[in-house]
C-alpha cells in the first residue's frame, strides 16, 4: 500500500478525468460516462479520432504500483496466449500505468457484451476451457506483490476490522463473535480436508458480471482482484441454484476446464469455505469503504440492525453447509 495520505475520489472531477487522458495523448470529444464500479472509478470516454475508451482510476492506497503492474503483466501474458481478456493499453509513454494529480489510472479498449447464459451446458464448457487456459498461464509463476486469498486475508483480518471499528451493534455482538468463530473453524476444517492444494494466479473475482459474452464467445474483464489462490475460486462463483444444479454446472465447467488444466478434486472441499470467506470479506469491504460518499448511497442497507441480523443467519447457514459432503462430479 502507498504510504502517503490517500486522496479522495471527490476530487476526481470530470475535468480532472479528461485532463488525465490528455496527459497521455488521448483527446476526448467531451463524452464521459461513469460506469458501474465502486472499488475504483471507471469511465467510458469518447475520443476525438477513434472509438471510445475505458479509463480506470485506481482507488488511492489500495494497491502499490508494483501490484498493479503485476496484474497488467499477467493479463498481457494471457493476451500473448490468445486468451480473450482486456489488457491495459500501452500508450505513447510506453507505460500501462499512469499518474495525474495524484491519481493512478490505466486505459483499456472498450468491449461490449452480455452476461453469459449459465444454464446452457455449452456455455459453461466454453467458459471452463478458457478458465483452464487462464490457470495454465497462472500456474507458471507466482505473484510477488499481490496478497493471497486465504483464511487470514479473507477471514481473520476482515473479522478483526469489523470488531475493532465497532460496526457490529452491541446487542448482536456476542452472537456475531460466536458465529464468526464457528464459521472460521468450519473454514479451517474444510482446508484441512482439502489438504495441500496448489495455489496459482487467479482472475480472483470470476463471477458472471466479469465475463462479457458475444457471438464469438466470452472475454474476461476486471482482473483488479487477481491474486494467488486455489483454482476452484475461479469456478465456484459460476455455480448457483440447488445442489443438483450446481453439480451439473460444475460438471459442465470441468468438462472444458480439464481440456487445458488438471483439476484436483480435493478442492471441492473448499467451495463452501471460500463462499464463507467471501461473505466475511464483503462485509468488511463495505465497512472499510463507508467513508466514501458513493457507498452509503449505493448500499443504504449496510450497517443497519437488519443487515447484521441477516449476516449472522447467513453465517449460521454456512457453518452447516461446510459440514456437509462436498459437491462431487461424475
Q: Which residue numbers are catalytic?
A: 205, 222
Cα of first residue to Cα of last residue in the chain, in angstroms, is 44
Q: How far is CA 66 from CA 56, 72, 179, 273, in A?
A: 17, 10, 37, 30
Q: How far is CA 65 from CA 38, 72, 277, in A?
A: 20, 11, 26
What's the CA gap between 136 and 128, in Å, rounded?
12
Tell how strand 103-109 and strand 200-201 pair up: unpaired
Please give the torsion angle defined by the CA atoms of residues 59, 64, 70 and 73, in that order, rounded to the nearest 10 degrees.
60
Whether the Cβ atoms of residue 127 and residue 238 lie closer than 8 Å to each other = yes
How many residues does this entry show for the chain? 330
Q: What is the phi-psi region of residue 241: left when phi exceeds 0, alpha when psi lies from -120 to 50, beta otherwise?
A: left
C-alpha cell at 207: 463471477
What's the CA gap between 317 and 276, in Å, rounded?
10
C-alpha cell at 79: 493476451
C-alpha cell at 125: 464448457
Whether the Cβ atoms of residue 308 and residue 180 lie closer than 8 Å to each other = no
Amino acid at each position: 500500500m502507498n504510504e502517503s495520505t490517500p486522496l479522495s475520489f471527490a476530487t476526481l472531477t470530470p475535468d480532472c478525468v479528461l485532463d488525465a487522458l490528455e496527459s497521455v495523448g488521448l483527446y476526448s470529444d467531451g463524452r464521459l460516462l461513469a460506469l458501474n464500479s465502486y472499488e475504483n472509478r471507471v469511465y467510458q470516454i469518447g475520443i476525438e479520432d477513434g472509438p471510445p475508451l475505458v479509463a480506470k482510476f485506481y482507488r488511492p492506497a489500495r494497491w502499490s504500483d508494483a501490484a498493479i503492474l503485476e496484474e497488467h503483466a499477467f493479463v498481457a501474458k494471457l493476451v500473448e496466449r490468445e486468451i480473450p481478456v482486456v489488457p491495459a493499453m500501452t500508450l505513447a509513454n510506453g507505460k500501462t500505468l499512469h499518474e495525474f494529480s495524484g491519481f493512478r489510472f490505466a486505459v483499456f479498449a472498450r468491449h461490449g457484451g452480455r452476461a453469459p447464459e449459465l444454464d446452457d451446458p455449452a456455455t459453461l464448457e466454453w467458459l471452463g476451457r478458457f478458465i483452464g487456459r487462464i490457470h495454465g498461464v497462472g500456474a507458471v509463476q507466482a505473484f510477488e506483490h499481490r496478497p493471497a486469498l486465504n483464511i487470514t486475508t479473507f477471514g481473520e483480518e476482515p473479522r478483526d476490522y469489523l470488531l475493532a471499528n465497532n460496526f457490529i451493534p452491541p446487542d448482536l455482538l456476542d452472537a456475531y463473535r460466536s458465529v464468526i468463530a464457528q464459521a472460521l473453524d468450519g473454514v479451517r476444517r474444510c482446508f484441512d480436508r482439502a489438504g495441500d492444494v496448489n495455489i496459482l494466479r487467479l482472475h480472483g473475482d470470476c463471477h458472471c458480471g466479469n465475463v462479457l459474452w458475444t457471438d464469438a464467445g466470452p472475454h474476461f474483464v476486471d482482473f483488479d482482484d487477481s491474486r494467488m489462490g486455489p483454482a476452484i475460486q475461479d469456478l465456484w462463483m459460476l455455480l448457483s441454484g440447488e445442489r443438483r444444479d450446481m453439480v451439473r454446472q460444475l460438471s459442465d465447467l470441468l468438462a472444458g476446464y480439464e481440456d487445458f488444466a488438471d483439476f484436483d478434486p480435493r478442492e471441492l472441499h473448499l467451495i463452501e469455505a471460500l463462499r464463507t470467506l467471501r461473505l466475511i470479506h464483503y462485509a468488511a469491504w463495505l465497512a472499510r469503504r463507508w467513508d466514501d460518499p458513493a457507498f452509503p448511497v449505493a448500499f443504504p442497507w449496510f450497517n443497519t440492525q437488519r443487515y447484521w441480523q441477516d449476516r449472522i443467519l447467513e453465517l449460521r447457514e454456512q457453518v452447516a453447509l461446510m459440514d456437509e459432503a462436498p459437491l462431487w462430479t461424475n
